[in-house]
Structure 1
Amino acid sequence: MHLQFITGDEAAARLDVDVTRFVIAGWAGRDRDAVLHHIRELEALGVPAPGAVPLFYRVATNQLSQNALLEVVGNETSGEAEPFVFFHRGECWVSLTSDHTDRYLETFSVALSKQACIKPVASGAWRMREVAEHWDALELTSWIKEQGEWVVYQQGSLSSLLTPQALLTRYLEGETAADGLAMSCGTLSTIGGIRPASEFRMALHDPVLGRTLEHTYRTGALPVVA
């Protein structure tokens, strides 16, 4: 999948990236209690607990999109803001994605639910080396629109998640990360429980360098035809 990023970097102001392998890291919390909380959130929706944590789901690269309008089947889908890292020209970059998921399908198969929905990606990116030393200070927030108002849905620092380096080490098992690899690096617990929403906004804020990656999208529901 071909993605384009704006970096604000004079040396690489625009990136034209071909993602050839896309991985979603699930159950990627650093704090075991937080992971168990997220597992319980999903169990309340009928989603079976994972056999191990973290888990890595391969997803088709054509599911990545930088569009602001997506189409989904039915009304039981919702987003989850996540850091997104990718490798391009020998360097690791950071952006932002939503692991938009079909919650009904998730009760049957988490892997299939990951594949069923398009994954929105922000159009901005940072060099990993610019944020690696203060990674834990980065702040992830998402909002959903309910009754016409934006409501905070997730909020917290990345200190609660395993670092991309830790996740990549576990996933690659000694393999060297190659250009074209992209990973969605885990999410935070929701505020008020996981619930469907057709409008989703997300932001990754760097309080040290004073900048923010953000993306807003909405979904249109296609009919469920039996």
Structure 2
Amino acid sequence: MSGRVLNFTTPAGTVTVQVRDCVVAGWTGRDKAALDHHIEELAAIGVPGPSTVPLYYRVAAEQVQQGDTVQVLGRDSSGEVEPVLIATEDGLLLTVGSDHTDRKVESYSIAVSKQMCPKVLATAAWPVEPGPWMDRLTLESRATIDGREVVYQTGTFAMIRPLAELVEGYGGLQPGTVMLCGTVPVSGGIRHADRFAMRLTDPESGAAVEHAYSIETLPEIR
């Protein structure tokens, strides 16, 4: 049995999940202009556009973690706040996560770049039944860059294709599957940070799920 064992705190108690599969849904923007903006963001750092949208990238289950520190090679990677669905025997959980990605590698292979870095998830989650109500949920990330914390991303689920549509497009989620569901635009361009904080909020109830992690850069030996 592969993958990590993750524990999520939910309103009903702790849920333990053996991760068997991880899939990253990419190019999931609901609005064409916003999607084009994200494609332009990546094109600015040399990343080619998609062959179709959305795309589903497979990542090793062992890359999914809930730590507060990740180690990456060099300073060419960055975090990306995303809603995350976790399929369990009792239904779906929703949490917030980061599709941390090596941008240098992404310039020649998005699929390989997804595999290069950990996918960091929060330790709290909500049981959910995807539906239109989810459009009100908000996403925010804050990045510490050169010693200063800045707002890096903000947006709502209404900017992303409905999560039920993403699940259906993948053919459903078997228990033990983690799906990262796409991101929202970056303010100021994609760049490396020393710390990445992310937050998922329901503005109607005030409930939130948040997590943060530090990025330790390993030297590139030539």
Give the TM-score taking structure 2 as reference length: 0.96
Q: Which runs of 5+ in 1 are unaligned?
A: none
1:105 aligns with 2:137: no
**Poorly superposed stretches of 4+, deviation over 6 Å:** none
Residues paired across the two proteins, number: 219
Q: Aligned-pair RMSD on alpha carbons?
A: 1.1
2:84–2:97 contact (8 Å) kept in structure 1: yes
Q: How big is each residue's C-alpha offset from its partner over 1:150-181, in whole Å with a ceiling of 9 and x where there is no partner?
A: 10000011101011100011111xxx532111
Tell me by how many angstroms 1:133 deviates. 4.7
1:78–1:198 contact (8 Å) kept in structure 2: no
Aligned partner (choices 198, 211, 214) of residue 210 of structure 2 = 214
- What is the SS of the residue equivalent to 1:23? strand
Tell me by how many angstroms 1:147 deviates. 3.2
1:90–1:178 contact (8 Å) kept in structure 2: no
Q: Which runs of 5+ in 2 are unaligned?
A: none
CA distance in 2, matches of 1:132, 1:218: 33
- Look up the match of 2:200: 204
- Look up the match of 2:149: 150
Q: What is the identity, as a one-letter code, of the residue corresponding to 2:102? A: D
Tell me by how many angstroms 1:49 deviates. 0.8
1:93–1:125 contact (8 Å) kept in structure 2: yes
2:131–2:164 contact (8 Å) kept in structure 1: no
CA distance in 2, matches of 1:114, 1:4: 23
Tell me by how many angstroms 1:146 deviates. 2.3
- What is the SS of the residue equivalent to 2:67? coil
- Look up the match of 1:36: 36
Q: Which is worse superposed, 146-155 or 161-170?
A: 146-155
2:142–2:149 contact (8 Å) kept in structure 1: yes
- Look up the match of 2:5: 2
The percent identity for this pair of structures is: 41
2:144–2:196 contact (8 Å) kept in structure 1: yes
CA distance in 2, matches of 1:61, 1:209: 33
CA distance in 2, matches of 1:67, 1:86: 17
Q: How big is each residue's C-alpha offset from its partner over 1:91-129, in whole Å with a ceiling of 9 and x where there is no partner?
A: 011011100011111111100000000111100000113
Tell me by how many angstroms 1:19 deviates. 1.3
- Look up the match of 2:161: 162
- What is the SS of the residue equivalent to 2:182? coil
